Amino acid sequence: MMDLENIRKDFPILQTQVGEEPLIYFDNAATTHRPRQVMEAVEEYVFSQHGNPHRGAHRLAQTASLAYDGAREVVARFIHAASSDEIIFTRNATESLNLIARSYGETHLKDGDKIVITIAEHHANLVTWQRVARVTGATLEYIYLTEDGHFDPSDFAKIDKTTKIVAFGHASNVLGMHVPVQEMIQRAHAVGAVVVLDGAQAAPHFAVDVQALDCDFYVFAGHKMLASQGIGVLYGKRALLDDMEPFNLGGDMIEYVQEQTTTFNTLPFKFEAGTQNVEGAVSLAAAIKYLEAIGWDAIVAHEKKLTEMALTGLSEMPFVKIIGTTNPAEKHGVITFLVDGVHPHDVATILDHYGIAVRSGHHCAQPLGAYLHAPATNRASFYIYNTEAEVARFLEVLPLVRKQMGFK
């Protein structure tokens, strides 16, 4: 069982006042806050270990290398990669997806090939594949949703022998749901396609095992799981990474450079040109250790309790429309909704006056919004430091939004 009171003490920002109201932060799908333990780990690195890793024989270069490489080991264990060499540090999940699209997609696909994604994808896992299709001549096809947010199994037939890449989110940042992952991976591999999993909304919320999933690539971002902004992860199977061209060129990703030719470094350094965000890697390792100390079973149970409470309360409000399923067992801490007659930006602005932070807009998923005829919505997303009292306050305040907009 989670010690929620002590967990909240680890996050000073939660003591923030918004006017006369205490902050209730329900925008965790966008970014999470940092506990003291994460910032203390970064502080320790900066004040006593900081140097440029892999670039010197002096003590601080060595301590920086140990900190950076040690963080990679933590990440590898976290997602159960076969080797830390399969872990590439990037700026964020978006850069990870762009690396895959450029270094694998644009070099391995050709005219007549097919890329299959879902209509629920974040733009980072959609616009990237539009460009790959445009550059290579491949076609881009979508798997669509049923009315309650599930994927239509008949659409899985689009994964056929011409399909070379199947890319989808492990959990949706809008629907809070995940696709039948194993079925889609098995279908993709049966036709020889490579699977790209966007884990930005999954890795922070439940245990991930890339070997058990048998995905070919997996990406996620540190800032969505208590780490600093500016650090992301790309996991790839070694054989695929070995076969790919570097995304960026420069220092540390080389082996030998002559006037006209260059040979590249081994994995993972081949994809990490220039000085890296060591502080970010250190923060991510510390964040992973913090979450693992709480325990994934406890985290899942806590988020499920909050989600069920919020869904039940929202379902009793006739002026609220929930996007996607209303089954809490199928949600991962994300509820997207509409308030009848009130624009989502107005909903978010009024809630903010009560200290409640929710998201408004298209959530970087415009094709999904168009498909659902909901180009803008509100999103409440929960994490380890949120409480039942905060959910109760949210349910108490939401009807006041309608009243302030002139509805009875």
Could you tell me how many residues make up the chain?
408
In whole angstroms, give the CA distance from residue 403 to residue 400: 5
Q: Is 399 helix (H, G, I), strand (E, B) or coil?
A: helix
Strands (E) in 229-277, as ranges, are 232-236, 254-257, 262-264
- Residue 76 structure tokens: 């590898």
What residue has token string 């290579």? 136
Structure tokens at 259: 């006037």
| Number of neighbouring beta carbons within 10 Å of residue 238 | 14
In angstroms, rounded to a whole number, what is the distance separating the alpha carbons of residues 221 and 351? Answer: 27
Helix (H) or strand (E) segment spanning residue 402: helix 388-404
Task: Return the closest-CA partner of residue 155 out of 198, 118, 195, 196.
Answer: 118
Which is nearest to 142 in space by CA: 156, 128, 132, 131? 156
Handedness of CA 150, 156, 157, 162 (dihedral sign): positive
Q: State the sign of the Cα–Cα–Cα–Cα dihedral 96, 75, 215, 296.
A: negative
Sign, Cα dihedral of 382, 384, 387, 390 = negative
Burial of 30: CB neighbours in 10 Å, binned 0-12, 13-18, 19+? middle
> What is the signed CA dihedral for 210, 213, 218, 222, rounded to 10 degrees?
-60
Choose the catalytic residue: 135, 364, 397, 405: 364
Tell me the two tokens of residue 63: 């301590």
Q: What is the DSSP letter of 101?
A: I
Report how far residue 284's alpha carbon sits from residue 291's, in angstroms, rounded to the nearest whole number: 11
Catalytic: 215?
A: no
Residues catalogued as catalytic: 364
